[in-house]
């Protein structure tokens, strides 16, 4: 059975052209979503994934209608493949029920993985270069070591409340208690 999936991003758009193309492609049932692809929980997609059975083919007008990113698209297609369901994209002329379609899709996946690895390597390289220049990531320290010792000492005398010390040193209660909890000084 051919099952169609159509998605529009905004309420001002309509699925008419997608639906016509899916019906012309022989889809017997069509699932719709009217929301951004960046939203992970799309009811029409979930319903379609629950509906399909082995030997079915999911047909989409364009690949970007099915997944919000290449990585997400790969997850969805792998989910379909484990159910024995193939994918056909009309615009890209891709059909994962054929050897050539599977090859192209796996090439997309390999390129996506390659891109993720390059981004990770560049990020690690940038962090290492920053460390060599003496820069450390993370939030700035609110109190230097001397102020931290002073806050702990003043609080231990029971002369100042936590609110008084927070106001005096310009820190939040959460930060104050985090400093108290830290036993290193």
Annotated catalytic residues are 9
CB 68 within 8 A of CB 37: yes
Euclidean distance between CA atoms 172 and 165, whole angstroms: 10
Interhelix angle for 173-181 vs 145-156, to 10°? 90
Return all residues near 42 (Cβ < 8 A) that are at least 6 apart: 7, 33, 35
In sequence order, the β-bridge partners of residue 34 are 8
Euclidean distance between CA atoms 2 and 10, whole angstroms: 26
Euclidean distance between CA atoms 94 and 138, whole angstroms: 45
CB 7 within 8 A of CB 32: yes
CA 110 to chain centroid, in Å, comes to 18
């Amino acid at each position: 059975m051919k099952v169609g999936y159509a998605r529009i991003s905004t309420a001002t758009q309509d699925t008419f052209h997608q639906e016509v193309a899916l019906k012309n492609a022989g889809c017997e049932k069509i699932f719709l979503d009217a929301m951004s692809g960046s939203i992970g929980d799309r009811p029409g997609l979930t319903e379609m994934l629950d509906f399909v059975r082995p030997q079915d083919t999911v047909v989409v007008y364009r690949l970007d209608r099915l997944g919000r990113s290449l990585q997400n698209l790969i997850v969805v297609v792998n989910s379909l493949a484990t159910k024995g369901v193939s994918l056909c994209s009309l615009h890209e002329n891709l059909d994962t029920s054929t050897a050539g379609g599977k090859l192209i899709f796996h090439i997309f996946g390999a390129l996506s993985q390659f891109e993720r690895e390059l981004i990770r390597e560049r990020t690690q390289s940038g962090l290492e270069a920053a460390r060599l220049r003496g820069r450390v990531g993370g939030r700035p320290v609110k109190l230097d070591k001397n102020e931290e010792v002073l806050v702990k000492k003043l609080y231990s005398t029971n002369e100042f409340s936590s609110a008084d010390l927070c106001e005096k040193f310009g820190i939040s209660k959460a930060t104050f208690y985090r400093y108290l909890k830290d036993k290193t000084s």
